[in-house]
Structure 1
Amino acid sequence: MTGTVWHCHIAVSLDGKIARPDGSFDWLEGYPAEEFGIGAFLAGVDGILMGRQTYEAIRRMGDWPYPGKRTIVMTHRPLPDPPEGVEARSGDLGAVAAGFEQGGCRRVWIEGGSQVIQGMIAARRFDVLEMALIPIVLGDGIPLFRPGTPELHLRLASCTQRSRGALHLVYEVAHPA
């Protein structure tokens, strides 16, 4: 077992969506990320793992918000003009994870999307699920857990009510006895 913690910190709708069908997340307006501890969380993150659609959504927002954080984007296509510290990778997520571990990363943010999350659960590199549960039903959208995601048992570590009826939930993976 490594000393690396694999931590997914994500916002999700009541019906389990992480984005609209087009990848947008305008439905998060009015729910400041600071209320869900994102600043303290980011301060403790050494690396970030994300998929191409997540990367593209972040790039559309403007300046790269994670300077100094080693970031791997899972994609089969090159990244035009990536920010410093960002690299494109494809292939086995377990091998990518091993690279973070060998590089000394203590906490890696599994930022998304659902395909990367599913792959990290399958690779048994998933320790914490921290969620901003937003009181909205999107109906259509990108699910947090896609069909085929491996079974995962979780233990509630904390639940805090936030503004406008949102919840800040922290689950830890419950390893079978």
Structure 2
Amino acid sequence: MTRIIADISMSLDGFVTGPDAGPENGLGTGGEALHTWVFSEDPDDRRLLREGTARSGAVVMGRRLFDIVDGPGGWDDTVGYGAAEVGKPPFVVVTSTRPASVRLTDLDWTFVTTGLPDAVAAARERAEAASASSGKDLDVVLMGGGATIGSALASGLVDVLSLHLAPVILGAGTPLFPPGTPRALTRRTVTLTSTATHLTYDVH
């Protein structure tokens, strides 16, 4: 069964970027600390990253995040989806306008201009097709940014919330949980590593 999994790193005070995030400063000031676990040699960090990349039948991202990963300082052959895993699932970008060009032409991009629910539906179709082809259950992963995941949670589009809680207080930045509709969560897993606390919740 294909699930919709929101997967993102967050500070202890609830931010998914530091302040002043932008195309040339994707994680904001101090935000690199959120992804220390991604480049860690801790065996559990490596395992979680590898498993998360492998389960991705399709990935949804917002336009701001696309502009960062497809920009000149973005992904390459050594660091991409899943960091050093450099996974290549289909990518679905929710955007108001399609980009004039794409740098990462070796990746499978779909641009959806009719809103987040349609982007998630398109990604589900791709993930279900990949599941049928591979013979194993693959999921849709919402990788961000924070506004995209926050909107998906508020709209009831998320089945599972996977948080990588970094031991840092950023003080400001992009919040993951802006004021909105309450959601009940059921905790499923907790994994403590040397760099983060990895939490998985079912969303009701």
Say whether the fold is shared (TM-score over 0.5): yes
Q: Report if the CA contact (8 A) 2:92-2:123 is conserved.
A: no
Which of 28, 35, 43 is 2:34 aligned to? 28
Query: Which amino acid in 2 is paired with 1:69?
Result: P
Q: CA deviation at 1:128?
A: 0.9
Query: Are positions 1:125 and 2:125 aligned together?
Result: no
Q: How many residues align?
A: 170
Gaps of 5+ in 1: none
Query: Which amino acid in 2 is paired with 1:86?
Result: W
Match of 1:47 in 2: 58
After superposition, the CA RMSD in angstroms is 2.2
Q: Report if the CA contact (8 A) 1:114-1:146 is conserved.
A: no
Quote the Cα distance in structure 1 between the aligned partners of 2:122 and 2:110: 12
Q: CA deviation at 1:99?
A: 2.2
What is the percent sequence identity of the aligned residues?
27
Higher-strand-fraction structure: 1
Query: Which amino acid in 2 is paired with 1:99?
Result: A
Quote the Cα distance in structure 1 between the aligned partners of 2:191 and 2:162: 11
Quote the Cα distance in structure 1 between the aligned partners of 2:63 and 2:116: 14
Query: Are positions 1:162 and 2:193 aligned together?
Result: yes
Q: Report if the CA contact (8 A) 1:46-1:70 is conserved.
A: yes
Quote the Cα distance in structure 2 between the aligned partners of 1:6 and 1:30: 25
Q: Give the TM-score taking structure 2 as reference length.
A: 0.73
Q: 1:92 to 1:30 in 2, by over 3 A?
A: closer
Task: Identify which range, 125-134 or 20-29, moves more after superposition.
Answer: 20-29
Quote the Cα distance in structure 2 between the aligned partners of 1:14 and 1:56: 27
* Runs of 4+ deviating beyond 6 Å: none
Query: Are positions 1:152 and 2:175 aligned together?
Result: no
Partner-residue secondary structure (3-state), 2:76 = coil
Q: C-alpha deviations, 1:152-173, integer Å up to 9, x for none? A: 1111111121104x21111111
Q: CA deviation at 1:54?
A: 1.7
Q: Give the TM-score taking structure 1 as reference length.
A: 0.83
Q: CA deviation at 1:70?
A: 1.1
Q: 1:57 to 1:93 in 2, by over 3 A?
A: same
Query: Are positions 1:78 and 2:98 aligned together?
Result: yes
Q: Report if the CA contact (8 A) 2:94-2:115 is conserved.
A: no
Gaps of 5+ in 2: 82-86, 130-137
Quote the Cα distance in structure 2 between the aligned partners of 1:122 and 1:29: 25
Q: Report if the CA contact (8 A) 2:166-2:197 is conserved.
A: yes
